[in-house]
Structure 1
């Protein structure tokens, strides 16, 4: 065998066990069986599945606190010693018992005093903390005191004196040995049963039974056939071992548990616990589960390595992670124990890197048919390879493969990779990506470039965008001058389906360093500009690159048409609609000259979307007239774009039901065609649509996940920041709200999508008015109103106008308020935008109410509420109802208290705690709110709903004053709630609440 490649120095530190997760159902079932004694439970599982941890959790269960819990473990020894695990468990029994016939039970001299454990990790009398992990990753339970008394022992128990010297002075005298060896053995078995019966209620846990000696196995069978009435036995062993073959009486309660891998949810909980995070994303949890196959030991070691790496979590970090030391030791130990042919087969499987048929594995390993059969059986028996598909064999998880691969020396790797190219090349449909990987690993660079480009072409056709980008980037880095233009063009075009900042850098480098023909240069520059437009803070530069590319593409009308089409899109930045309309007309002109069906469809998609965004009702009719599907993947990508982009446009105009249908279908189409950019955009639209519609349960977490998944993709970051800012605002978390809204480009409109900017401005104005910072609110309104005027698409100002009008009115800036509402009214005449009609009612209502015409304003607010409810936008509808009720109360109409109370209830159902608190506050002021006459529900030691709100705000680090402002409570009331929260959670301080608060 070649020498393994040396590895760099590393340090692996363990800090204790992880949170027990993913086995609650199994644990509950076992406890139920074991509390009805006599009982036996058999636990089997592959290495790393958590058998030992499950036994440790059993030992901690409060159901067994009143009896003894004895633990023994079989050792993997060349010659196991007789009865090893049972003796290990029993040697720390201690306690008091009576030796029958040795004297009076009342004679102190005949009483044996209880003693504590004499050996670590063998006896648990009371539940206690789980101890540190041993080097092999198993847990050692901490040894609590075991002071339970033992019952009477007959003389037969004396047969254990030679085996249990720790209990010599506590056992009866050794009886005369029988002449027959079989009789002596039978007496020892009876003695064990006698001692276990004297222990009273006892749980005996034996781990790793597959390594037990024959005497232990026979003893287990003997005990199982006639279990003491108060004994429960749990036997854990490795899958694949035939088991102890115990037979129990019909009166014995039994269970068998086969441990499989953890599911994604359990792996997610483990990850959050070990990494010290409140949660991890669904995508990361799925990737971690795939990487570790859900095997608890592998997942735990991987997470410890990730934590020690100290880098931002990502799929790439998982893929490039070094195999954790404990896992590497476990794998290499099994590899070293295999016969040479089986080890060679495992190394071949590691190089091949996918589950393969035996003949393919044997071909790479160079094994004949008979040798292959023997080697495969050996690798399977050694637990290194597994059958992972019908007649396909490989590693249970990628880290095991990597650990084996790392043991293969460089020369041997080259030989094995070369053999893999030969074997794979004979397939009817050669796997191009695998051939490229093996060619590169074998150092055959020309072959690698050939296979890699072919694999990228295949990925483009199949819609596997990310894979195509990765491969083309890699090949382009080593390409010769004759190939750069072709490869960079392919990369630039496929990159438009997704978003990768590293592609921008690659294309910029190509344009700077390589002399290229004008058409090739223009094609690459066009894609570069399109990618820059999507990037935060690079909008204007991107448009400049696109406009330059259109000039370079004078002899290539079809690529030029794409650039013209992009410049026609008005949603981003402060460039006036009139400028975009010039490019819209050019796009219509070139459309008639195009022959490429995919390009014609692309221009149609954007024409429909642009028209919908500015409130042109004909857009929807044109959309409905389009065919449902298309022949090519490229055309289907364009249709997916249409559904996603039109969902965005329709949601901004207020057609929320249409948008909901478009979102669902668009997400499906984008995923199927590999349109990654559209997939990201639709997730942002989906989050904002949920915000509009009041579907707020779990929305903050969803928006954070989307935002984290696309940290440099401007439109998604800004849209999700708007959602997070809006949610924070209604909870009264004003500092967080302002931080998120700043990320939504509220202070720099030129860098963002204008609908998002104007909507974020409306939320920020509400926050500033809530804190009585009227000057700041007017400043925000000025910037946003200027952006709306410069852009000229007034449909997008629907959320801004009522908020800005309120700020101007409170500042006494009546001309500014009147002008803004009037401009909005003129700018939305004839537009297909239901939300604009609702906002116009709201704007007029604000101005009317500010001028003291309470009842007239209340009627306008009612009209606005009805219009928002039809969309539906329940939060805005409730806000309008609240304002109408407050105006009627101001006019002396006491019946309005019912409407105000209904608004408070509606706010609470949405989760708008601050708004609900404000309504309750006003109801108290009007003497219209009192606790229920049926009496308030008693919550005991549980947190009440109000205390939950206070606890959550404490966990976020908010002061009493901030909590009072957020919930419209008095400081004294908040102090009382804080004291109750600390007491009920058992928190030592305010900072301890976050740790104590249930998830």
Structure 2
């Protein structure tokens, strides 16, 4: 029989599938990326097929990265990608070092930090950078065992693969098929799926001939037919026959059986191979099986407490027997089923004991958190609840709880829950364990259980530091469930407890202030936050100081004291800057600062603050804050008239990763733009998506969505219903200024002067004494509408021009034109001038619905517009690119990656990716290389 050499695999009967993979490799070499799924039953040859293709990719000059899911490790995030991209503590390049440090707890970002999501963002950027170094192939084998974060990263890469010279391959079995795995088959087109079936009879006979070293005789062919066309079974079967001397090749080159002792199944065939090994080698392999399909020799040395020199004979025997193969600097089982056979052969109690020993050895060696946790998980997953958590593991859990919760909160829940159960009731560590368990439940989104555990722990714990931490968890949980007011009495009572130091009291006061702010009691929130700062005095506590200033800044925003909020932001950011535990607070401060600058019409500073928040959120992987920063930018860009850029910001983060209010806001922005552009179907699609989230945001007013819903009725010719949408929210204190202006416009249009007068009075009170340009313009606009005074409306248009709000300016010019046209002493010249300026502004924005509507209205007046100003109308080709897209396309031509472009233009890599997708679609091309080719063609055509 042909021997199995280290890593060599026979590939027979897969010429068609291999040709597809080789063709895709050529495509990647030409700069056109593709995502591919390869699926089939265990042992059918999926990995052998892809490895053969990867060898061809290496020969073609491609970089190849290979990682694999593992049934034991599926609770821990990103392991297949970390292995594939060589993310280890020994990594040297900055991106890999940052990812490794992040997941090892070196950059913890406080309670609720999602380290896995942050690492995922860094991994995507790393893949982008690696692809810019040359064509790349990234394989995730055994994808059905990968964790959900890995699948999410694979999904995002698949969506963006056209932008990269990347062949992305997922290899998986038909079952188990989770929902997130099913979604991959919707992302990857039918033409990029390879399903491997069982080998046909000719291929079976060819494989048997290769393995046996001769043409199979009738009896051998009959036996091989029982393998059901499974290459792994055939390989194991022929190997077993060879070991038992039941196979020989006669002088005529016919391979035939000489005995009948053959395995009846694939597991039996694998067991036969393992049974052939001496016991010392099998003992080493059992220890290796604890570590997973792939493992490092260093870890094997640690868990066996055996010098590497003493392990080498057993490892060499295992490699010679075809059980282990080399995997870069590590080793792996030749097939996952071989490892499974070894693992399942151990009795459960023995297996758990071995796992505990391995965990202890790895922890003593300061191994990464996820490697130790992986060995402890079987202990808590067993149906035998009598298995206790060892004392050393409890101490280890307390030391690593925060990074473990951030990296894998589900794993933390499982381990901490058992540790809390086993700890003595009077043990001092019980409270600390419960505190971390509550954090872990909060991390997995089980807010109710997090609150229950924290409440119970508060009844027992006396340590002030732990109690304040528990109170923080409860406050967060109550805020998320709308029950903040219920906890105020307990927080106030906590202030009376003995033994509190100033920093404890300050932190409790901050929690009380935040609670009052949650329930809308801004005056009390202001007073208590100020008291917290006074309580600290000379004591330095960055958490308490930063959060107290944050509450004060929010109070100022709610009161409309935008100018007063700015110095509070600066003070708070000076306090929290550089503290990794306060990154989330830093992001909130920067986002709110952006909103404040926008409210003051300081658009350059608003954009800069939002861009800084976006960059920090993207770099640290804070998806929730990233979506909020993107949303703030989208609203700013809407107001500034940069509508294409606003739409790009809306698309950056998937809806299911956003707060429901942010989803509603983003789709409201998009719907407003599409309605003004006359793109009704797209606008209504955004409203339909927002409607799914509307009920989840409670009483919050989302201004952009309210505007969009009102605009939908106006678009349909129902101004009364459009006004009703606005008046339904005008009673609230947080009704936006744009809503007030539209309400007066609609009310005067339908003759509802009472509503128009009431709203105008409210606007006048807002603008009285204010130096903010748009507030003065709004007051003039509303007064001009009520008085039908064209001159006042022109002054409003000038104010909106100074404020940098082109859509509002166009509306004021339109109203002025109508007022002049309808005046008793008709002023056709002024009407025509205002009408012409309004149409030009609408056209510059691409607001074709407004252009058509206004032209129809003034045809009825018998007024024609002045000279036509040309505007960009192209929807495809180079001339259709927006200024931002044009700049990004030029940098793509220079060969910059998305992260590099993002750094150059102060954008998020996600935003750059969205723009690049739009560029590809507008140019009708398939890759970055094609963009460069189109750029050269456009430059040549334009001389």
TM-score by length of 2: 0.57
The gaps in structure 1 that reach 5 residues or longer are 1-15, 33-47, 54-131, 140-207, 211-235, 244-254, 275-279, 315-322, 946-984, 986-999
Query: Cα gap change, 1:675/1:612 in structure 2, threshold over 3 Å: closer, same or farther?
Result: same
Task: From the superposition, tell whether residues 494 and 888 of structure 1 become closer, same or farther in structure 2 (CA, over 3 Å).
Answer: farther
Q: In structure 1, what is the equivalent of residue 759 of structure 2?
A: 820
CA distance in 2, matches of 1:785, 1:769: 18
Alignment of 1:723 onto 2:658:
no
Structure 2 match to 1:766: 711
Aligned to 1:527: 473
- Pair 1:417-2:359 in alignment: no
Q: Distance in 2 between matches of 1:404 and 1:931?
A: 82
**What is the deviation of 1:617?**
1.3
SS at match of 1:593: helix
Correspondence 1:350-749 to 2 at 5 A: 351-353=290-292, 357-362=296-301, 364=303, 369=309, 372=312, 375=315, 386-388=326-328, 391-393=329-331, 409-411=346-348, 413-414=351-352, 416-427=354-365, 429-442=366-379, 446-447=388-389, 451=393, 454-455=396-397, 457-458=399-400, 460=402, 465-467=406-408, 471-472=412-413, 474-476=415-417, 479-480=420-421, 481-482=425-426, 485-491=431-437, 500-508=444-452, 511=455, 515-516=459-460, 524=470, 527-533=473-479, 535=480, 538-539=481-482, 541-546=483-488, 548-555=490-497, 557-569=505-517, 575=520, 579-594=521-536, 595=539, 596-613=541-558, 614-625=560-571, 627=574, 630=577, 632-635=579-582, 637-670=584-617, 678-679=625-626, 681-697=628-644, 703=650, 706=653, 708-710=655-657, 713-730=659-676, 731-733=679-681, 735-736=684-685, 738-739=687-688, 742=691
Q: Which residue of 2 aligns with 1:298?
A: 170
Q: What CA deviation, in whole Å up to 9, does each residue of 1:277-308 have, x standing for no partner?
A: xxx99756258899xxx986634657993469
3-state DSSP of counterpart to 2:609: helix
Residue 913 to residue 905, structure 1, CA distance change in 2 (3 Å) = closer
Secondary structure at the counterpart of residue 662 of structure 2: helix
Maintained 8 Å contact 1:817/1:847: yes
Counterparts of 2:821 and 2:17 in 1: how far apart (Å)? Answer: 61
Report the CA distance shift for 1:692/1:709 in structure 2 as closer, same or farther (over 3 A). Answer: farther
CA distance 1:531–1:302, change in 2 (3 Å): farther
Q: Partners in 2 of 1:311 and 1:525 — Cα distance? A: 40
1:349 deviates by: 4.7
What are the within-5 Å matches in structure 2 for residues 242-253 of structure 1?
none
3-state DSSP of counterpart to 1:298: strand
Distance 1:717 1:28, change over 3 A: closer
Please give the per-residue CA displacement for 1:387-444, whole angstroms capped at 9, x wherever unaligned: 45xx4456899x99997887665547436524523542442x3444433431342569
CA–CA separation in structure 2 for the residues paired with 1:768 and 1:529: 41
Kindly report which structure 2 residues correspond to 1:275-290, keeping only aligned pairs within 5 A, or say none. 283=153, 285-286=155-156
Say if 1:345 and 1:362, in contact at 8 Å, map to a contact too. no
Give CA-to-partner distance per residue, 1:538-561, whole Å, 9 cap, x none: 43x233334543344432523421
Native 8 Å contact 1:722 1:744 kept in 2:
no
Q: Deviations over 1:531-578 (max 9, x none)?
A: 342x4xx43x23333454334443252342122221343xx67x4xxx
Say if 1:561 and 1:590, in contact at 8 Å, map to a contact too: yes
**What CA distance in whole angstroms lies between the structure 1 residues aligned with 2:373 and 2:173?**
31
Tell me if structure 1 keeps the 8 A contact 2:842–2:851.
yes
SS in structure 2 at match of 1:751: coil
Look up the match of 1:26. Answer: 26
Question: Relative to structure 1, is the Cα distance of residues 842 and 456 closer, same or farther in structure 2, using a 3 angstrom cutoff?
Answer: farther
For the 8 Å contact 1:332–1:403, the answer to whether it is kept is: no
- Aligned equivalent of 1:778, options 720, 723, 727: 723
Q: Which residue of 1 aligns with 2:73?
A: none
Residue aligning to 1:991: none
Q: Find the aligned partners of 2:458 and 2:665 in 1 and give their Cα distance.
A: 38
Q: What corresponds to 2:737 in structure 1? A: 798
Q: Is the CA contact 2:669–2:704 (under 8 Å) kept in the aligned structure 1?
A: no
1:902 corresponds to 2:848: no
Query: Following TM superposition, by how much is the alpha carbon of 1:760 offset from its aligned partner in structure 2, in angstroms?
Result: 3.1
Q: Which runs of 5+ in 2 are unaligned?
A: 1-15, 67-126, 145-149, 161-165, 187-194, 200-228, 237-269, 381-385, 881-923, 925-943
Tell me the SS of whatever aligns to 2:446: helix
Where relative contact order (Cα < 8 A, 6+ residues apart) is larger, the structure is 2
Q: Counterparts of 1:209 and 1:492 in 2: how far apart (Å)? A: 46
**Which aligned pairs between 1:822-837 and structure 2 lie closer than 5 A?**
822-830=761-769, 834-837=773-776
Q: Check conservation: 1:835, 1:868, Cα contact below 8 A.
A: yes
Tell me the distance in 2 between the aligned counterparts of 1:662 and 1:688.
14
The 2-side partners of 1:685 and 1:664 are apart by 10
In the superposition, relative to structure 1, how do residues 820 and 714 fare at CA in structure 2: closer, same or farther (>3 Å)? same
C-alpha change, 1:681 and 1:417, in structure 2 (3 Å) is same
Q: Which has the higher helix share?
A: 2
Residue 665 of structure 1, CA deviation: 2.7
- 8 Å contact from structure 2 (residues 720, 750) kept in 1: yes
Change (3 A) 1:525 1:241: closer
Q: SS of 2:724's equivalent?
A: helix
The alpha-carbon deviation at position 801 of structure 1 amounts to 0.8
Change (3 A) 1:468 1:349: same
Identify the residue that residue 807 of structure 1 maps to in structure 2: 746
Equivalent runs, 1:299-318 vs 2, <5 Å: 299=171, 301=173, 305-306=177-178
- CA distance in 2 between counterparts of 1:463 and 1:209 reads 37
CA RMSD of the aligned region, Å? 6.0
The CA distance in 2 between the partners of 1:551 and 1:325, in whole Å, is: 68
Shift of 1:697: 4.1
CA 1:516/1:135 → structure 2, altered by over 3 Å: closer, same or farther? Answer: closer
**TM-score, normalising length: structure 1:** 0.54
1:581 Cα deviation (Å)?
Answer: 0.9
Contact map agreement 1:802 1:842 (CA 8 A) in 2: yes
CA contact (8 A) 1:640 1:669 kept: yes
The Cα of 1:488 is off from its aligned counterpart by: 3.5
Instruction: Go from structure 1 to structure 2 and tell me whether the alpha carbon gap of 1:304 and 1:647 turns closer, same or farther (over 3 Å shift).
Output: farther
The residue that corresponds to 2:905 in the other structure is: none
Taking structure 1 as reference, are residues 922 and 715 closer, same or farther at Cα in structure 2, changes over 3 Å only? same
Max Rg structure: 1
What's the CA shift for 1:787?
Answer: 1.0
Post-superposition shift, 1:864?
Answer: 4.3
Quick one: structure 1 residues 822 and 308, their matched pair in 2 at CA, closer, same or farther if it must change by over 3 Å? closer
Q: CA deviation at 1:377?
A: 9.5
What is the CA deviation profile of residues 726-759 of structure 1, one whole-angstrom value per residue up to 9, with x for unaligned ones?
34544334644554565675x999632x4x3x44
Q: By how many angstroms is 1:821 displaced?
A: 1.9
Would you say the 8 A contact 1:838–1:867 is kept in 2?
Answer: no
Give the Cα separation in 1 of the matches to 2:605 and 2:316.
58
Compared with structure 1, are the counterparts of its residues 773 and 673 closer, same or farther at alpha carbon in structure 2 (3 Å cutoff)?
same
